[in-house]
């Protein structure tokens, strides 16, 4: 059965079938092969049970909050704040690019939204300041990976729902990897800027300029503070936090920025419906396949097979990192989590690896696939925004790709570091 499923999956992937339909079709094939046509009535049940989760309600709310804040003109405020902080350093605009993504990550939680929101402003600004367009585009695409790493993160919501791990703990665990990734990419940008002579964008650091930027950007940065503060303070759940974030975005846009109107709201709702529909369709279709695999004890068989090869948790983590990096090049992030987590997470737990730690590693590794062809959604978005060829951009990508891989392996083999924040906050 498993062989037929894998062959069918590969064939449909090669011919370009949408990943959600692939999951549904191979799940149906597996169901017919294992149980017969009489049990096809289980299909609708598994579709709806896969989506029947309170946690998954966070997806449309986080999407809408991010879309609203992106549409309300906060990008300029965030760039101004980042410039006031690091613009005076060598390669200043490159550092601003990295810091922008850290700030924006706490608002949108989406790499593609990061590129779409910030890329249209930061890429032309870097080009006008003497940076090559391929380099500016590569850096913008690379820094966008921070988006789904620092909370709120839709991939973490999906993993938490699939494996049964606390989403709040996942959010907390994502802080150190996201900040470490940003720091290493800033180091890479500094090295490249020193070699190429990319200078500071602004003069010496000014407290008055910084104070003005803080004042303008305070309301924009209030959203991640409310989300994480409310979750970690036990005021509301991650799902409730998402709804609060939407309310905050509406208040800020309507009362403070005064940029909210019917056109903006309708446009944000349309994009939210599309993103949510795609995400939940993946979850629904993946529910069929996950149920069949679980009923046939495939995860247990895979666990015994892996443990028969090696019972060393570090080797297992290494194999998983390599697998995730390869899978991320060819498959959608959410789909990969839905397919792989029910199989690999139980193995990790049998080896003594925390499912929380394993989830962060999975999300971090698969996030890197967002900037690697042939599927890399953030890469294609950045190239579209900059009107630059993928070939030129990829030639400039390697320092930042290396930074992300180094971050991945540091987190993968430093469980205490990955779980430091959740432990401090008492979430585990």
Q: What percent of the chain has pLDDT over 70?
A: 89
pLDDT at 134 over 90: yes
Question: Per the domain annotation, does 9 fall within a domain?
Answer: no
pLDDT at 36: 57
Burial of 420 (0-12, 13-18, 19+ CB in 10 A): middle
pLDDT band of 300, cuts 50, 70, 90: low
Measure the CA–CA gap between 248 and 398, rounded to whole angstroms: 38
Question: Per the domain annotation, does 110 fall within a domain?
Answer: yes
pLDDT at 75: 67
Q: How many domains does the chain have?
A: 1
pLDDT at 117: 72
pLDDT at 106 over 60: yes
Of 226-230, 295-299, 327-331, 406-410, highest mean pLDDT: 406-410
pLDDT at 5 over 80: no
Round the average pLDDT of the chain to a whole number and report it. Answer: 82
Question: Per the domain annotation, does 1 fall within a domain?
Answer: no
Measure the CA–CA gap between 367 and 333, rounded to whole angstroms: 7
Question: Per the domain annotation, does 303 fall within a domain?
Answer: yes
Question: Per the domain annotation, does 25 fall within a domain?
Answer: no
pLDDT at 23 over 90: no
Burial of 352 (0-12, 13-18, 19+ CB in 10 A): exposed
Show the domain range for 225. 41-424
Q: Is the peptide bond before 152 cis (omega within 30 degrees of 0)?
A: yes
Of 244-248, 271-275, 315-319, 401-405, highest mean pLDDT: 401-405
pLDDT band of 286, cuts 50, 70, 90: confident
Within 10 Å of residue 286's Cβ, how many Cβ atoms? 27
pLDDT at 13 over 90: no
Q: What is the pTM of this model?
A: 0.83
pLDDT band of 298, cuts 50, 70, 90: low
pLDDT at 402: 95
pLDDT band of 103, cuts 50, 70, 90: confident
pLDDT tens digits, one per residue of 320-367 = 999 899 888 877 788 888 888 888 898 899 889 999 999 999 999 999
Mean pLDDT throughout 52-65?
Answer: 78
Q: Is the peptide bond before 374 cis (omega within 30 degrees of 0)?
A: yes
Q: What burial letters (b/e) apply to 129-153, b meaning 16+ CB within 10 Å?
A: eebebbbbbbbbbbbbbbbbbbbbb
Show the tokens assigned to 150: 């620092």
Measure the CA–CA gap between 325 and 363, rounded to whole angstroms: 10
pLDDT tens digits, one per residue of 242-255 = 888 888 888 887 77
pLDDT at 1: 66
Question: Per the domain annotation, does 407 fall within a domain?
Answer: yes
pLDDT tens digits, one per residue of 154-212 = 889 889 988 889 888 998 899 999 999 999 999 999 999 888 888 766 667 667 777 77
pLDDT band of 30, cuts 50, 70, 90: confident
Mean pLDDT throughout 102-124?
Answer: 78
> Which residue has 């966070």 as its token pair?
58
Q: What percent of the chain has pLDDT over 90?
A: 18
Measure the CA–CA gap between 154 and 413, rounded to whole angstroms: 24
Question: Per the domain annotation, does 136 fall within a domain?
Answer: yes
């Amino acid at each position: 059965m498993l062989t037929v499923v894998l062959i069918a999956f590969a064939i449909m992937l090669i011919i370009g079938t949408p990943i959600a339909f692939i999951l549904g079709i191979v799940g149906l094939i597996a169901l017919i092969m294992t149980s017969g046509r009489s049990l096809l009535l289980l299909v609708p049940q598994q579709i709806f049970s896969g989506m029947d989760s309170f946690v998954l309600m966070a997806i449309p709310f986080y999407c809408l909050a991010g879309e609203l804040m992106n549409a309300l003109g906060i990008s300029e405020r965030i760039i101004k704040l980042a410039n006031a902080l690091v613009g005076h350093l060598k390669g200043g605009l490159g550092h601003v690019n990295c810091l922008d993504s850290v700030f924006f990550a706490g608002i949108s939680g989406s790499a593609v939204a990061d590129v779409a929101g910030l890329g249209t402003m930061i890429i032309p600004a870097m080009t006008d300041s003497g940076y090559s367009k391929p380099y500016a585009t590569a850096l913008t695409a690379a820094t966008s990976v921070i988006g789904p790493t620092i909370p709120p993160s839709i991939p973490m919501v999906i993993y938490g729902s699939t494996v049964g791990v606390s989403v709040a703990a996942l959010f907390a665990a994502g802080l150190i990897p996201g900040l470490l990734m940003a720091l290493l990419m800033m180091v890479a940008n500094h090295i490249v800027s020193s070699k190429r002579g990319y200078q500071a964008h602004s003069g010496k650091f000014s407290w008055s300029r910084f104070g003005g930027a803080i004042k303008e950007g305070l309301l924009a940065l209030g959203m991640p503070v409310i989300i994480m503060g409310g979750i970690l303070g036990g005021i509301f759940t991650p799902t409730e936090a998402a709804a609060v974030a939407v309310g905050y975005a509406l208040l800020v846009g309507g009362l403070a920025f005064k940029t909210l109107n019917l056109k903006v709201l309708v446009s944000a709702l349309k994009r939210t419906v599309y993103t949510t529909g795609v995400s939940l369709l993946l979850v629904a279709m993946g529910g069929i396949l996950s149920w069949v695999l679980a009923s046939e004890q495939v995860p247990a068989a895979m666990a015994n097979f892996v443990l028969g090869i090696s019972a060393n948790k570090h080797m297992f983590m290494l194999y998983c990192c390599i697998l995730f990096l390869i899978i991320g090049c060819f498959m959608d992030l959410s789909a990969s989590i839905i397919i792989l987590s029910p199989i690999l997470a139980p193995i990790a737990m049998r080896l003594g690896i925390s499912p929380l730690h394993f989830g962060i590693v999975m999300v971090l590794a698969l996030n890197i696939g967002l900037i690697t062809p042939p599927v890399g959604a953030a890469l294609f978005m950045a190239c579209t925004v900059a009107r630059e060829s993928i070939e030129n951009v990829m030639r400039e990508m390697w320092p930042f790709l290396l930074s992300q891989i180094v971050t991945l392996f540091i987190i993968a083999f430093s469980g205490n570091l990955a779980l430091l924040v959740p432990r401090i906050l008492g979430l585990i």
